Structure 1
């Protein structure tokens, strides 16, 4: 598969996971409405070939299922994501190998790092067409407006590339940008993000911050840029590790930055520190409209693109959305890294319905009293993205954390709220979370739903109910005799059978 957006679109079409829409559609509300209906049912990716007022087609919902995200990462199934996570965990905290097998595995990872180094492209496809100065008009890009009360049109899946003015170290992030005029946009990033740090440094030195936006890149690179794990690697190297080969980079035309050579569109500009405009409101991942914030103003002076470019986009909102599918995939990648950071954790799960990170369920191999509380506290500090997790539920290792029935049973049968619930007040918080009394400051809750031991409890715990092993084995052998062999006991049960209205 070619390492670019077009190669991925071709792959999806070959697998029957892409629909081309030739009917005239509007980028204002209509594209998002169609795409949202596809997302709700796990439908195919969409390529709108006839967009009102635009000469570019629009691709959306390319990463709308975990299966398609796996394909984007050159994997066939979700289980392989944990193999990738183990590789990254080894790079994060390398230990001297004690056995020959460990040495061989570590050597393979180092070889993967060498293969993952980015290379240079001197005739990049992304610069086949160059538009500068007064000829630049951002309105030619078919940006979407997803919701009726959104403030304007937005870019959502662009790689936002900046550089530390002291060290020259680049940062690649995925941030929302709002169209403000034919050559300006505001960029919405949190103060802890790399781009915001670079802007503060530029301000201290009295310099403008150079910025480039790469649109329509290989989805694998988007996944790498959206993985905020504490590994001392550039996002380009990270993408190379994800894909098994290095990313080809091209030097921008007017700023000292590098972008993926196969990008469909590249915008080049600068931010003058202190120059801001109101940004928002927009629908966000919490399922509400966000607020209006003064955000840095980007002035663009150059746009380059491939011949006949494709515009890739998405939008936020209450799950399921593409960002939720990405979070599920990242959850699997994080698991080995988290086990390495917090050794007692055997597994963890971030339910999509909990906005992919607001609630975490972790299982532990409990060995001593108070261990569940320690595991919850360690979870909050293990990786940066867990800072905004509001609820951590800790269960025993024999609980299937992906089965809500088992988790609710553990909470209901093993928790005394006066003993097993603890709250950390006034901690740094997501400014998009309106549940907080003060925006940016809120509490976190830990729930110990493990089996208690002395001195957590002063009485014996009840003996768990289990089938007689001999009878269970006999019933399995005779299942066909009962005339029930047409019933698949391993398939997922319809929640409606248990009174859930879905």
Structure 2
């Protein structure tokens, strides 16, 4: 598959997962309303070919299912995401191989790193049309306004590229931008993000910060940019590791930055430290409108694009949304990395209904008292994105953490609130979380829902109910003999507790 947006759209169409909309539509509210309904139903990606006021098509909902996220990363099934996580984990914390097989495996990972090195294009497609100065007009871009209370039109799936003024190291992030005029936008990023750090450094040096916005890139690069894993590797290298070959980059026309050569649209500009405008409100991933915040103003002086460019966009909101599907896939990638940093963790899960990061359920192989609390504390500090996880529930390894019935059973049958619930007050928090008493400062809760051992309890724990293994196997073998062959039982985990009846499919 070609490593660009058009190649991915072609793949989706070949697999029956792209619907072209030729009827006229409005980028103001209408596109988002259509897309939102299909997202909720797990529907196909959409390409709107007749958007009012522009001749540029709009693509949306490309990553609206976990299956399509896997395809974007050149995988056919979610299991391969964990294989990628193991590869990244080896690079993050390399250990001397103890066996020849381990040495061979590590050698393969290093070879993958060599192949992932970015390449440079001298005649990139993104420079087929170049507009500078007064020719720059952001109104040509069919930016959407998703919700009626939104302050204006936004860019949501743009790669925001900046460079550390001190070291020259680039940062690639995905941040929301609000159009302010025909050549300016405000960028909304958290203070801990790479772009914000670069702006602070530029301010200390009395310099402007150069910025490039790449729109309509290979979705695989978007996944790499959305992966805040603490490895001293660039997002370009991550994308190369994800895709198995190096990303093709092109030098910008007016700023000293590089962008994906096959980008559909590229905006080049600068931020003057201290120059801000009100940004928002906008509907966000929490399911509410955010607050109005003064945000850095980007002044654009160059716009380049491919001939007949395609504008790729999405929007936030209460799940399911595309960002939630991306988070589910990233969850699978994080799992091996998290196990490497916190060995007692068997598995972890970030429920989509909890916004894919506000609550985590982790299972551990419990060996000593207090281990559940230790695991929760280690989880919060393991990766940057877990800083804003509000609730962590720790369960025993035999609990299926993706089955809410089992998790609730563990909480209600194994937790004494006074002993097993602990709260960390006044910790750094997401400014979009209105439940916090102070924006940017909130508490987090850990719940130990594991079986208690001495001295956590001074009495013997009850034995969980389980089926007799021999009888269970006998019933499985005689299922058709009972006249029930037309009723298919879902696969049953032998470690599941006997109180549960497996669901029946007709």
1-side partners of 2:491 and 2:471: how far apart? 23
SS in 1 for 2:55: coil
Offset at 1:165? 1.1
> 5+ residue gaps in structure 2?
493-500
Residues 59-458 of structure 1: pairs in structure 2 closer than 5 A: 59-458=59-458
1-side partners of 2:474 and 2:102: how far apart? 43
2-side partners of 1:96 and 1:215: how far apart? 41
SS in 1 for 2:242: helix
2-side partners of 1:439 and 1:225: how far apart? 26
1-side partners of 2:329 and 2:478: how far apart? 39
| 1:55-97 residue CA offsets vs partner (Å, 9 max, x unmatched) | 1000000000000000000000001100000000000000111
2:10 is matched with: 10
SS in 1 for 2:488: coil
2-side partners of 1:130 and 1:477: how far apart? 70
> 5+ residue gaps in structure 1?
none
1:486 is matched with: 486
2-side partners of 1:165 and 1:457: how far apart? 56
1-side partners of 2:166 and 2:445: how far apart? 40
| 1:129-179 residue CA offsets vs partner (Å, 9 max, x unmatched) | 001111110000000000000000000000000001111100000000000
2-side partners of 1:412 and 1:196: how far apart? 43
SS in 1 for 2:96: coil
Q: Aligned pair count? A: 494
SS in 2 for 1:177: strand
Offset at 1:491? 7.0
Offset at 1:13? 0.2
| 1:260-280 residue CA offsets vs partner (Å, 9 max, x unmatched) | 000000000000000000000
SS in 2 for 1:325: helix
SS in 1 for 2:489: coil
SS in 2 for 1:59: strand
2:495 is matched with: none
TM-score, normalization by structure 2: 0.97
Q: Does 1:21 align with 2:18?
A: no
2-side partners of 1:97 and 1:466: how far apart? 41
